[in-house]
Amino acid sequence: MKYSFVIPTYNKKEYLKKTLEALNNLSGYTRENYEVVVVDDGSPGEVFEFIKGVNRNYRLNYVYLERCEDSCRARTRNYGIRAARGEYIVFIDDDIVVNNDYLKEADRCYGFSHNLVIIGMRLHCPSELIAGTSRKEYRITACRKGDTNVMEVRHLIYNRLSYNLDAHKYPWMLTFSGNLVVSRKLVLDIGGFDENFKKWGFEDMDLGYRLFRAGAQFVINSKMEAFHQPHPRSPEGENNSDYFVKKWENLFKETDPDTLLLLYDIGFNNPNLLPPFRKYPGKIYNKVTIEFRKESELESVKKRILQLSRKKGTEVIVNDYCENTDLDIWVQLLKVKNASISYFPQSLKISDPTNFSILKEVMFDDKVLW
């Protein structure tokens, strides 16, 4: 078994059923290649009866946990990890609909290295539109309009910084478990999720940080973008930021906590807070832009990037108009030390990436449908 989808769920059986239905459509993969582990964190009602039989092309393992004082996302996912048999764990939420080449794209990444944490993103799309909607066209339209109700916050961040996580000072910071792939061994080696995160959020960022400390390398695969079925945001109260800061107090000795946690703070509305998130600390003396428009020029583009990566004080901006090659993953695995390499797939280009005043509304307004 190569892949195990681990899906925690609580009281969202209609969304879950659409999530599971989509997993029948993974091109080139059969029940010998992947399984799905659903961990129900004590939902009321007959969830299993509602989803029973939806798995036509894969093995479904449904685990029910009694609700208790220890119930939390971290605990639920840890049960899923232990029940999984796959070499790689795919973490998705119970409202995520993946595309049919999702596992092919995961395989493309692991063709480079088994030590990768693969980050996929989400597009918010109403359930009634998902079946007949092209992700690429849906996203391109949203990006051109700057429609942040469709995009998630990471689209905006990566447009501002880079879709090359090796250029980020904190590549683990945007580890969201709603669409994430990682080796099961890596997760087990660090002890899985920290079940002391009882409230909302940060348990996945904590996992990412510990994976980073253990030597894992992070990559974005924008082709593993998934649809998110919007729904009213759950009223879950406070988040886990205080516990996260206390747990990693040494980390915060080098960085202002309000800056490091800007994803969950209104301070992110200020674009001037973003430069410290670039890994390259030196002064930029020279900027070079590479326009990649023809697949036949891939090797020459790579050679040019390698040459420039050795030049201190150089920022290389790669605009990828092809997006059908391995350039996106190759760039992120270069481990550049002397230069800064910024990579931007052009179908993800947002019309006005500097307009960060919209983020507070998108992330924190309880009336916004997620």
- Express each pLDDT in 90-137 by its tens digit: 999 999 999 999 999 999 999 999 999 999 998 888 766 666 667 777
What pLDDT is attached to residue 203? 92
Higher pLDDT, 330 or 147: 330
What pLDDT is attached to residue 202? 85
- The CA-atom distances, in angstroms, between 210 and each of 136, 169, 200 are 33, 15, 19
* pLDDT for residue 362 is more than 50: no
Higher pLDDT, 262 or 96: 96
How many Å apart are CA 137 and CA 262, to the nearest integer? 30
Pick from 135-139, 196-200, 220-224: least confident = 135-139
- Express each pLDDT in 267-326 by its tens digit: 334 444 444 567 776 788 899 999 999 999 999 999 999 999 999 999 999 999 999 999
Place of tokens 């939420």: 93
What lies within 8 Å, CB to CB, of 75 at 6+ separation is: 41, 65, 193, 195
How many Å apart are CA 242 and CA 319, to the nearest integer? 39
What pLDDT is attached to residue 138? 78
State the average pLDDT over residues 38-52: 93
Measured at the alpha carbon of residue 365, what is the angle toward residues 255 and 238, in degrees to the nearest 5? 55
How many Å apart are CA 262 and CA 37, to the nearest integer? 33
What pLDDT is attached to residue 356? 43
Output Rg (C-alpha) for the chain, integer angstroms: 20
State the average pLDDT over residues 214-228: 94
pTM: 0.89
Taking a C-beta distance cutoff of 8 angstroms, is the pair 99, 228 a contact?
A: no
Confidence of residue 263 (pLDDT cuts 50, 70, 90): very low
* pLDDT for residue 249 is more than 50: yes
What pLDDT is attached to residue 350? 80
* pLDDT for residue 20 is more than 60: yes
| Alpha-helix runs per DSSP H in the chain | 13-22, 47-51, 73-83, 102-110, 127-130, 135-145, 153-160, 184-189, 203-213, 241-247, 257-260, 298-309, 327-332, 359-364
- Express each pLDDT in 149-175 by its tens digit: 788 878 877 887 899 999 988 889 888
* pLDDT for residue 261 is more than 70: no
Most confident of 60-74, 158-172, 222-236: 60-74
Q: Does domain 3-242 have CATH number 3.90.550.10?
A: yes
